[in-house]
Amino acid sequence: MTEPFDPDGLIAEARQQTGLVDLGDASFREPLIRLCASLAGEANLNAVGVATQRQRVLDILITRLRVEDWFARHPEIADEVIGAPLVICGLPRTGTTMLHRVIAEDPDFDSAKWYEVRYPAPLDGWTPDGVDARIAAAEEEVRMTLELAPELMAIHPFDATSPDEEIMLLEQSFFSRTPESYCHLPEFSAWLESQDQLPGYRYLHRLLQFLQWQHRAQGRARPRWVLKSPHHLGFLPELFRLFPDASVIQTHRDPVESIPSICSLCFHLETMGCDVPDPKATGAHWSAGWARYLERAMAYRDAGHDEHFLDVGYLDSVRDPLATVARIYEFLGRELSPVAEEKMRQWTEDNAREKRAAHAYSLEQFGLTEASLARDFAPYRSRYLPR
């Protein structure tokens, strides 16, 4: 029997299922091999974990085959221009999701839904005016995820048809930390962070072109994208290399609050596929990683790029999201239309945080202390947090 994480076996299976051969740029191959080795060797997966992570890798390979087939049949996709996106990033758990979804209510902004970032290539039989089978597939995946780890709904508002972050588009190149959110993969993580990330960002740009082309065919393309991913903090040079006209909203919250919160999210994701996840390993991994990413972001901004950024406080955006949006639109030099403002106001009322269960977590659970976080994030806290 083929090993579950044999890269060649997975590629062969993806090709057999689709009848397609071309996987596109070969830059995905080494990270695929490294990821498979770590999933098999260091992730300590149970049977559910093996099945779900194997399927996730297989889905990516199938998607790549479908993407290249669409580009071959419709070469005009490569002519799509991604103009001056608004990019929301900051530490996880700093209000990025809320801001993203609020701004996506503006009819002049384009965004990618969860089902699109999970399955960027349409499934067989797709037509621009027909029922999109990806939605049902995504809704079932969300249902199963929350069934395995119901605590997740108190942490993050999972919704297959709401705007979501493009980290899952980056995952299609295997240049993404998404697998680390589900599994303990320190060797893969260390290798990935040492690599040139441009191939991942090039593929992200390609997939956004593809989604924009789909939206155009459906009559819902818009002149400007609103994107969102904390991941970009660590790779701002790569982001601006592919999106030179981007404007970035960086959200801020004390890491003493945000770091244990993201650790809690990742730990609950790990419990779905590992019988004995180690919360202290989770805490050490993500605390150190996000500290590095913030250091890189500050260095990039200090190198003469600060004019592309607007800083937004977490409490300000939570207390008065529309006032925060007004600041963002002033920064962008654009007006907030009455229609967009009303849609945003309605969204904030319909999705108030108090309508979901409280998210319970502690520093101690993840081997963290206020003192250790204050030390590790001292330059960031000194620069961006009020005293």
pLDDT in tens, 117-174: 999 999 989 999 999 999 999 999 989 888 877 777 666 678 899 999 999 999 999 9
Q: Give the residues across from 251 on adjacent strands.
A: 90, 312
pLDDT higher than threshold 70 for residue 19: yes
For the chain, the domain total comes to 1
Residue 323 lies in a domain: yes
pLDDT higher than threshold 90 for residue 27: yes
What distance in Å separates the CA atoms of residue 4 and residue 7, rounded to the nearest whole number? 9
Q: Is 194 exposed, middle or buried (0-12, 13-18, 19+ CB in 10 A)?
A: exposed
Residue ranges making up the domain that contains 285? 82-384
What distance in Å separates the CA atoms of residue 77 and residue 211, rounded to the nearest whole number? 9
Lowest mean pLDDT among 45-49, 167-171, 360-364: 360-364
pLDDT at residue 1, as a whole number: 43
Residue 358 — very low, low, confident or very high, per pLDDT cuts 50/70/90?
Answer: low
Instruction: Give the three-class secondary structure for 89.
Output: strand
Residue 60 lies in a domain: no
CATH of the domain at 246: 3.40.50.300
pLDDT at residue 145, as a whole number: 84
Residues 118, 128 contacting (CB under 8 angstroms): no
Quick one: which of 252, 203, 207, 238 has its CA closest to 225? 207
Give 183-230 pLDDT, tens digit per residue: 999 999 999 999 999 999 999 999 999 999 999 999 999 999 999 999
**Structural element, H or E, at residue 331:** helix 321-332
Residue 73 lies in a domain: no
Give 267-303 pLDDT, tens digit per residue: 989 999 999 999 999 999 999 999 999 999 999 999 9
Quick one: which of 215, 234, 181, 160 has its CA closest to 35? 181
pLDDT at residue 372, as a whole number: 96
Residue 29 — very low, low, confident or very high, per pLDDT cuts 50/70/90?
Answer: very high
pLDDT higher than threshold 90 for residue 387: no
pLDDT higher than threshold 50 for residue 367: yes
Residue 194 lies in a domain: yes
Report residue 130: phi and psi, to 5°: -100, 180
Residue 38 lies in a domain: no
Return the residue matching tokens 């006032």.
Answer: 323
Residue 18 lies in a domain: no
**Beta-strand pair 247-252/109-110:** unpaired
Residue 53 lies in a domain: no
Average pLDDT, the chain: 94
Residue 266 lies in a domain: yes
**Structural element, H or E, at residue 247:** strand 247-252
What distance in Å separates the CA atoms of residue 284 and residue 344, rounded to the nearest whole number? 37
pLDDT higher than threshold 60 for residue 31: yes
Among residues of the chain, what percentage have pLDDT more than 70?
Answer: 96
pLDDT at residue 94, as a whole number: 93
